[in-house]
Amino acid sequence: MAAMEEWAFPTRYDQDYLPDPSSPYWFPVRETMDPAERDAAVLVRLREVMEYAYSTSSFYKNKWDAVDLKPADITSWEAFEQVPVVTKAEMRQSQADHPPFGDYVCCDESEIHHIHGTSGTTGAPTAFALGRRDWEVIADNQARILWGMGVRPGDTVFVAALFSLYLGSWGAMTAAERLRCRVLPFGAGAQGMTARAVTWLARVKPAAFYATPSYALRLAEVAEKEKIDPREFGLKVMFFSGEPGASVPSVRKAIEDSFGATVIDCGTMAEMTPFMSASATKETPEGMLLWQDIVWHEVCDPETFRTVPYGSEGTPVYTHLERTSQPMIRLASNDLTRWVMEDNPCGRTYPKLPNGVYGRIDDMIHIRGENVYPTEVDNYLRQVADYGGEHQIIVRRTGSMDEMIVRAETTLPDGQREAFDRDTGSGLQSFLGVRVTFESVDANTLERAEHKSRRVVDEREHTKR
Ligand code: 8LE
């Protein structure tokens, strides 16, 4: 087996390393090696990470002792797939019992370099503790992934996401810094900031841009209002995480058409930072590759948490290979995806999520025996002429029947919407395969997301969470 570049645990990357400028790969061996050889190396690493977690955290020790599992037992993939998954509820409990970081912090607390957290406004927050050395390793890994996207030293990277508890923006920033880029940590979310972003983008003309997909579309609308064509920003690559969108065909196309840039999808979960370990590349721009030597990604049956065969749908389960602060070992995501293993145009030998991560299990709408992904509604509406750019999905129970109402904006004036309402309603209904009550509303009346979109309002009692 060819020696894998800087493959060690605990991990320490050479902070001065940069690839040969002509190389499409940061680490040519690790990225293009025989996947079976890579997997064999990962299995050894998983045992090491588990030994480390078992000996440094009561969380993992108790969890594994309860099922009589020892890290040394992990000598096969069958054995690894029986490691019980970690749920978000367990982490919340651990942090309630051992504030503020829970008993799954494996490093000395003096090592903690950054504290981030869940950005939701309801429920108990979860704190993320990131070690100083981990932060460097995260930067290195994500710089490597940015390299794969075609970002290069000296490029200006415009970060248009919240700089607060949210890890997305900080992760993009630290990666770009490690890559020797020029970072513009613009942020998002303050009053009037989107219009100012338009001005800055037009003036600075960055090469790369990071945000949530909803925010990019919002930015394009604001630019249009300011009479600026987003293509004038001259962006080369736009990379997105945080929600489905960059792999939803019509959303992706809307962003590409507005900005004239390559759209790249990436992102797992904040807990999993380096969260870009699932990411497309410049030459494999669609879907997301699973960079298996950075984080071990499995796609599993949501009941048994055994991996499903390539070609099948399941829920992602993630394991850190390099984190020493709060390593996640088989973290259950509750998301939905499908994975495949095929030849990738970029030459990387990683499995791929051809449709990205297309939804959360608990956001799927169950209506009269059918499942509807909210992203399908987005995908459909986005290619309808005269669509106003935003919509809402309301699910309610009328009598004994569930009803799905889609309320969508249109740019058509009131009085000229009859055909639009009829055709969009029936088109949506046959696309989704469920009955839909369709209503149009004036453009620019529904709320735009500054961060992640929340478009579903489920008014049914039994699904209230
Ligand atoms: C489809 C990954 C990050 C830092 O951008 C993020 O949003 O982390 P966070 O706040 O922990 O949220 C994670 C959840 O966002 C995932 O479980 C998934 O439901 C969604 N998500 C993140 N990136 C994507 C995504 N869904 N495609 C993505 N690229």
Nearest-CA residue for atom 18 of ligand 1: 243
Tokens 């009859």 belong to which residue? Answer: 418
Whether the Cβ atoms of residue 59 and residue 65 lie closer than 8 Å to each other: no
Query: Is the Cβ atom of 138 under 6 angstroms away from ligand 1?
Result: no
CA 84, CA 65: separation in Å to the nearest integer? Answer: 11
Query: Is the Cβ atom of 317 under 6 angstroms away from ligand 1?
Result: no
Predicted-assembly ipTM surpassing the 0.85 threshold: yes
Query: Is the Cβ atom of 243 under 6 angstroms away from ligand 1?
Result: yes
Span 3-14, pLDDT tens digits: 999 999 999 999
Distance from the alpha carbon of residue 79 to the mean position of ligand 1, in angstroms:
28
Q: What is the CB neighbour count within 10 angstroms for residue 19?
A: 14
User: Looking at the domain 1-361, which fold is it?
Assistant: Rossmann fold (3.40.50)
CA 72, CA 429: separation in Å to the nearest integer? Answer: 53
The full DSSP string for 105-158 is --S-GGGEEEEEE---SSS---EEEEEHHHHHHHHHHHHHHHHHHT--TT-EEE
Query: Is the Cβ atom of 388 under 6 angstroms away from ligand 1?
Result: no
Q: What is the mean pLDDT of residues 197-219?
A: 97
Q: What is the CB neighbour count within 10 angstroms for residue 334?
A: 16
Distance from the alpha carbon of residue 433 to the mean position of ligand 1, in angstroms:
27
pLDDT band of residue 462 (cuts 50, 70, 90) is low
Closest CA to 324 of 279, 277, 273, 270: 273
Q: What is the mean pLDDT of residues 240-249?
A: 97
Q: Return the axis-axis angle of helices 418-432 and 374-381, rounded to nearest 10°.
A: 140
| Max CA distance (Å), the chain | 71
DSSP summary character for residue 204: H
Q: Which of 268, 315, 337 to mutate to test the pocket of ligand 1 (most atoms within 8 A of CB)?
A: 268
Nearest-CA residue for atom 26 of ligand 1: 243
Amino acid sitting at position 99: P
Nearest-CA residue for atom 16 of ligand 1: 269
Query: Is the Cβ atom of 333 under 6 angstroms away from ligand 1?
Result: yes
CB within 8 Å of 438: residues ≥ 6 apart:
405, 406, 408, 421, 424, 425, 428, 429
Tokens 């060690």 belong to which residue? Answer: 8
Look at residue 121 and tell me whether its pLDDT is greater than 70.
no
Q: What are phi and psi of 447, to 5 degrees?
A: -70, 135
Spans of all domains in the chain = 1-361, 364-463
DSSP 3-state assignment of 270? helix
Look at residue 36 and tell me whether its pLDDT is greater than 60.
yes
Q: Taking CA 121 as the corner, what is the angle to CA 327 and CA 449, rounded to the nearest 5 degrees?
A: 100
Query: Is the Cβ atom of 337 under 6 angstroms away from ligand 1?
Result: no
Burial class from Cβ neighbours inside 10 Å (0-12, 13-18, 19+) for residue 67 reads exposed
Query: Is the Cβ atom of 213 under 6 angstroms away from ligand 1?
Result: no
CA 103, CA 92: separation in Å to the nearest integer? Answer: 11
- In this structure, whether the domain defined by 364-463 belongs to CATH 3.40.50.720 is answered with no
Whether the Cβ atoms of residue 30 and residue 293 lie closer than 8 Å to each other: yes
Looking at the CA of residue 276, tell me the nearest atom of ligand 1: 2
Report the percent of the chain where pLDDT is more than 90. 92
CA 178, CA 45: separation in Å to the nearest integer? Answer: 25
Burial profile 246-274: b = 16 or more Cβ within 10 angstroms, e = fewer? bbbeebbebbeebbbbbbbbbbbbbbbbb
Whether the Cβ atoms of residue 84 and residue 330 lie closer than 8 Å to each other: yes
CA 16, CA 446: separation in Å to the nearest integer? Answer: 48
Look at residue 463 and tell me whether its pLDDT is greater than 60.
no
Looking at the CA of residue 273, tell me the nearest atom of ligand 1: 4
Query: Is the Cβ atom of 92 under 6 angstroms away from ligand 1?
Result: no
Q: Which of 238, 241, 275 to mutate to test the pocket of ligand 1 (most atoms within 8 A of CB)?
A: 241
**Matching fold, domains 1-361 and 364-463:** no
Distance from the alpha carbon of residue 1 to the mean position of ligand 1, in angstroms:
35
Q: What is the CB neighbour count within 10 angstroms for residue 235?
A: 21
Span 147-173, pLDDT tens digits: 999 999 999 999 999 999 999 999 999
Query: Is the Cβ atom of 374 under 6 angstroms away from ligand 1?
Result: no
Whether the Cβ atoms of residue 298 and residue 363 lie closer than 8 Å to each other: no
Span 64-105, pLDDT tens digits: 999 999 999 999 999 999 999 999 999 999 999 999 999 999
Whether the Cβ atoms of residue 94 and residue 88 lie closer than 8 Å to each other: no
Determine the pLDDT at residue 465.
45
Beta bridge partners of 182: 156
Query: Is the Cβ atom of 359 under 6 angstroms away from ligand 1?
Result: no
Q: Return the axis-axis angle of helices 167-178 and 132-149, rounded to nearest 10°.
A: 80
DSSP summary character for residue 3: P
Span 301-354, pLDDT tens digits: 999 999 999 999 999 999 999 999 999 999 999 999 999 999 999 999 999 999
